[in-house]
Amino acid sequence: MDDETQRHDPKYLEVLEKLTLAWAKSQRVKVWHRGKDERIHEYNFAPYFIEPYAVGQTTHVTGVHGAHDKRITFKVERIERIEEQNDEYTIPESFKPQEQLKDAWGIWFTEGAPVTVQLRFHPRVVRRGKETRWHRSETIVEQPDGYLLWEAKVAEPQEMEHWIRGWGADVEVLEPEILRETMMGEVRALAEMYGWYVHSQSNSSGR
């Protein structure tokens, strides 16, 4: 968190400091967060847990907001402004971040059941795929054709997209279908960008 990658951004450091102090003092803060739609939304926020995230070396904060204390997670780097409030709060004893994040790929979690993710590793990367335990629930099965079948139950598979992209054509998404379709769409977009023609019919490697 105190790394050159933050480029000593004074806004980031101010936000992180105020969030940490609010967390320590159990006092709510008002934050202005830039969402995925690039619009800035205002929240009356109670921080429950601050979590550094290895991907991109970013920082996330989990807590609750609004009159009904709805659970939410913010990327700290997307908080544009923060103000201290005098409103105190109490973190419920039932909140256990390690338990909450046990099925997460990184820091994303859901209230629903985890989703089964199944990947197929090409023989040329099987050794590298087996060298690391990527998720607490993973199972691996070596196939007779040399491929590796990898499976895990992940809270939010969308969070895996960046990692899957890094394997390129050496990993195929088998399940869930929505994640597979996302990767197929990106492959088509890349092919078009580089001037290749891609047939519109789905190809599922013999499935």
Q: What share of the chain is helix, strand, coil (3-state, %, to 5)?
A: 35, 35, 35
Q: CA-to-CA distance for 29 and 45, rounded, in angstroms?
A: 5
**pLDDT, position 206:** 46
| Cβ neighbours of 25 (radius 10 Å) | 10
**pLDDT, position 27:** 96
Question: Is pTM, for the whole model, over 0.75?
Answer: no
Going from the first residue of the chain to its last (207 residues), give the mean pLDDT of each consecutive group of 10, the final group possibly shorter. 61 91 95 92 94 72 90 90 94 78 63 87 94 89 95 87 91 95 91 77 50
Q: What is the CA radius of gyration of the chain?
A: 20
Q: Which amino acid is at 182?
A: T
Q: Whose CA is closest to 155, among 199, 92, 112?
A: 112
Q: Cis link prior to 97 (omega < 30° from 0)? A: no
> Residue for token digits 């109670």?
46
Q: CA-to-CA distance for 196 and 33, rounded, in angstroms?
A: 39
Assign 3-class secondary structure to 13-76. HHHHHHHHHHHHHCEEEEEEEECCCCCEEEEEEEEEEEEEECHHHEEEEEEEECCCCEEEEEEH
> Pairing between strand 139-142 and 27-34?
unpaired
